[in-house]
Structure 1
Amino acid sequence: MANLHVRSNSLPSKSHPIVNDVEDHLCRLRSSEGTSTSSASVTANLAILKDLHEGSLGLVDLCGFTRDILNLTKGSVQDLQSSIRRNRGETATADDINAYMTSRKKINKMVNKFIKNFKTFDKNPTAFSNEDSDLKAIVTMLKETEAFDVSVLKSVLILVSGERGSSKKRSWSLLSKFSRTSRVHSEVEQERCAEYLCSFDLQKSGKDLQIVLKQLKASEMGIQELEEELEAFFRSLVKTRVSLLNALNH
């Protein structure tokens, strides 16, 4: 994992402002309780709420998986750093580098499998009757928020997995929109350390390994920043879910 430096605010860290809008609609919705008591209407509303709850649970799962991947990635970087330092920065064995590259491939495989099997959220709400305008507004806002949050989390996964190509470029672009600074490195810099290790001559001087150590340290710091952002996002996600569930149940 190469230079992966993402400054703060790359992930939403506060309770989503959409919650206030949702609660306003819920107040109006509760005030009109009893006006639509047909079996078909109640059944449809229950199905809609079930879909929303499943969506929020899916987001929690995705966020948890992303945290695990970041932890694995940081671990592989730290292991290689430790191995080089144990040898006083003078040499690195083929086993050390192979273990690092194998870990990257394993992480990439895990990410690809998870994303492939992850259920995509349907942003198009179910058909509503005219009397359900507030419920429709709630569902529409929540589904749009879920879809956007999923895009951000998938961008993090694509970046740390080492995937190349257009997906990575789109991921950098999306995360850059959340950063208040321009210190988001390009995908070329992201892969520099891995490519350097692949072509590295193990018999070269310690000076070359110092370059690797510097790049690995930058990667570790970048991953740490992403972990902190993701932890804040996860807490916000859980808090928002609890708030919405409480609002719906009262």
Structure 2
Amino acid sequence: MAVSFHVRSSSYPSRQHPQAAHVDEQLTRLRSSETASSSSIRQRLSNLQDLHDSLEKMIRLSVTNHALSQDQIEKVLDGSIKILDLCNVAKDALSQMKEGLMEIQSILRRKRGDISAEVKKYLASRKFLKKSFQKVLKSLKTSQNKNNNDALAVFGEAETVTIALFETLFSFMSGSKACGKWSLVSKMMSQSKVTCETDANEFTRVDMEFQSEKSLQMEDVQNLESCIQDLEDGIGSLSKSLIKYRVSILNI
């Protein structure tokens, strides 16, 4: 659905506000992203940061202020809190996994210490995190906003694509052969096809190597650590944009 804030004048016809048009373009770009690879997820995190930066600018427009009721503002705030909670869950999980990988690499470099015990500890942590991710995925309930007010609809769509990204992220971090978890977006945005990423990702490869008890591929461990760092950076930047976004909503 296009955002329809309009500017009127006595000499020109009604037209879409430039900031609203920019948000429309960003939403379209995010809805068209379907693959679930580390690079695509990092790019979508960056795109989501840009989207919420744009929404923050739009929320400060007087036309937006007047278009939103108190009840609608509360709904937008509730949605932003839900997303910030997802950011925190993801950051905590990534930090825990990175810590385990760093300890394993330290033992391998020093060639002393119980590497088997650390690997088992890492795999036990992964098992616990996978269960946590499944609980989070089950709890993600986003219903289509039936409010015809376009000012509210755009924020609802932004929440939808953001939560869909976190569904993809948690599935990716679980190491599953996963669809990009864009079925929610597909259903709500009337898209007919979701592309799946079936190749093993960075998390899966390291899990398989640790579980097989064969010689560890340090390159794969380092690639996973680098992947985790990139995801942490992307989520951290998105969190900062979300906080700024919430401040602007609270100032209405």
Shared fold (TM-score greater than 0.5)? Answer: yes
Q: Partners in 2 of 1:187 and 1:25 — Cα distance?
A: 47
C-alpha change, 1:244 and 1:142, in structure 2 (3 Å) is: same
C-alpha change, 1:51 and 1:102, in structure 2 (3 Å) is: same
Structure 1 residue 169: Cα displacement = 3.1
Structure 1 residue 101: Cα displacement = 1.1
TM-score of the superposition, structure 1-length normalised? 0.68
Tell me which stretches of 4 or more aligned residues in structure 1 moved more than 6 Å. Answer: none
Answer yes or no: is the 8 Å Cα contact 1:60–1:234 preserved in 2. yes
TM-score of the superposition, structure 2-length normalised? 0.67
Q: Percent identity?
A: 22
Code of the aligned partner of 1:16: D
Answer yes or no: is the 8 Å Cα contact 1:155–1:172 preserved in 2. yes
Q: Which residue of 1 aligns with 2:127?
A: 105
Structure 1 residue 99: Cα displacement = 1.3
Q: Give CA deviations for 1:118-163 in whole Å, capped at 9, x if unaligned.
A: 4x2333134x6xxxxxxx122101011011111112222221122x
Q: Which residue of 1 aligns with 2:179?
A: 169
Answer yes or no: is the 8 Å Cα contact 2:86–2:166 preserved in 1. yes
C-alpha change, 1:245 and 1:149, in structure 2 (3 Å) is: same
Structure 1 residue 66: Cα displacement = 1.3
Q: Partners in 2 of 1:79 and 1:102 — Cα distance?
A: 15
Shifted more, 16-25 versus 101-110: the winner is 16-25
C-alpha change, 1:29 and 1:200, in structure 2 (3 Å) is: closer
Q: Partners in 2 of 1:53 and 1:10 — Cα distance?
A: 22
Code of the aligned partner of 2:43: N
Unaligned runs of 5+ in 2: 1-36, 184-196
Shifted more, 18-27 versus 136-145: the winner is 18-27
Q: Partners in 2 of 1:137 and 1:9 — Cα distance?
A: 27
Give runs of aligned pairs for residues 56-71 of structure 1, distance below 5 A: 56-71=80-95
C-alpha change, 1:125 and 1:56, in structure 2 (3 Å) is: farther
C-alpha change, 1:172 and 1:192, in structure 2 (3 Å) is: farther
Q: Which residue of 2 aligns with 1:115?
A: 137
Q: Which residue of 2 aligns with 1:74?
A: 98
Matched length: 198
Give runs of aligned pairs for residues 1-250 of structure 1, distance below 5 A: 5-6=38-39, 9-11=43-45, 12-14=48-50, 15-22=52-59, 23=61, 25-26=63-64, 28-29=66-67, 45-87=69-111, 93-118=115-140, 120-126=141-147, 136-162=149-175, 164-165=176-177, 168-170=178-180, 187-190=199-202, 191-201=204-214, 208-209=215-216, 211=217, 213-246=218-251, 248=252
C-alpha change, 1:235 and 1:58, in structure 2 (3 Å) is: same
Structure 1 residue 172: Cα displacement = 9.8
Structure 1 residue 195: Cα displacement = 1.3
Q: Partners in 1 of 2:123 and 2:239 — Cα distance?
A: 29
Code of the aligned partner of 1:26: T
Q: Give CA deviations for 1:27-72 in whole Å, capped at 9, x if unaligned.
A: 5549xxxxxxxxxxxxxx4433322221111111111111111111
Structure 1 residue 171: Cα displacement = 5.1
Q: Partners in 2 of 1:172 and 1:103 — Cα distance?
A: 27
Answer yes or no: is the 8 Å Cα contact 1:5–1:223 preserved in 2. no
RMSD: 3.0
Structure 1 residue 194: Cα displacement = 1.6
Shifted more, 5-14 versus 103-112: the winner is 5-14
Bigger relative contact order, structure 1 or 2 (CA pairs below 8 A, ≥6 apart)? 1
C-alpha change, 1:125 and 1:200, in structure 2 (3 Å) is: same
Structure 1 residue 107: Cα displacement = 0.9
